[in-house]
Amino acid sequence: MRYGPRLVRIDVCCNDPDDGSFAERAAGIDLQDSLMELRATDWRGPVFREHPGQIQLDRRRFACSRSKDWYGNWCWNAYWLDIDEAVELLAYAHTLRRFDCEMGDERLFNRWDQDRPFDDGDRDLFARLMVKAALSEKREVIG
């Protein structure tokens, strides 16, 4: 399913808490506008790497349009992905079963704890809510 070229921001806790250096681990993943907050079950998280035009979670790579280091504080970096890539990153993170959902939109929170893989309906729900959050964030910056 194609949602268009709209970019959404995904924040990743991938920097060392002692000095802010890139740690190559995803200890947390947050969707913008507090839509959902995921924390690694082991507090260390799976492998996370940056490549030119891509980010890598565990063994999979996802296209990334841009990024910003130390977004919010030095533990977090922000990554802007096409909506399709963002949804696939979340679906993949779900299959890893290495993240707990600590908070978020009730529908996303409840869906995260289900063992079954994401289906088209789940992908559509995540995409619609992320687009809504991206539009809300844009209004705040402009307004």
Dist. CA 99–CA 29, nearest whole Å: 9
Domain span at residue 11 reads 7-142
Say if 2 falls within a structural domain: no
Nearest to 27 by CA among 57, 51, 52: 57
Structure confidence by residue, pLDDT tens digits, 55-76: 999 999 999 999 999 998 999 9
pLDDT-derived band at 137 (thresholds 50, 70, 90) equals low
Report angle CA 139, 37, 15 to the nearest 5 degrees.
95
- The answer to whether residues 83 and 10 touch, using CB atoms and an 8 Å cutoff, is no
pLDDT of residue 143: 37
Say if 1 falls within a structural domain: no
Say if 25 falls within a structural domain: yes
Q: Which amino acid is at 135?
A: L
Say if 117 falls within a structural domain: yes
Task: Give residue for tokens 């996370």.
Answer: 48
Say if 23 falls within a structural domain: yes
Structure confidence by residue, pLDDT tens digits, 12-53: 999 999 999 999 999 999 998 789 999 999 988 999 999 999
- On the question of pLDDT at 141 being above 80, the answer is no
Give me the number of domains the chain comprises: 1
Cα dihedral 98, 95, 14, 3, rounded to 10, equals -150
- Cα 35–chain centre separation: 10
pLDDT of residue 133: 82
- On the question of pLDDT at 2 being above 50, the answer is no
Say if 89 falls within a structural domain: yes
Say if 98 falls within a structural domain: yes
Structure confidence by residue, pLDDT tens digits, 90-128: 999 999 999 999 999 899 999 999 999 999 999 999 999
Say if 116 falls within a structural domain: yes
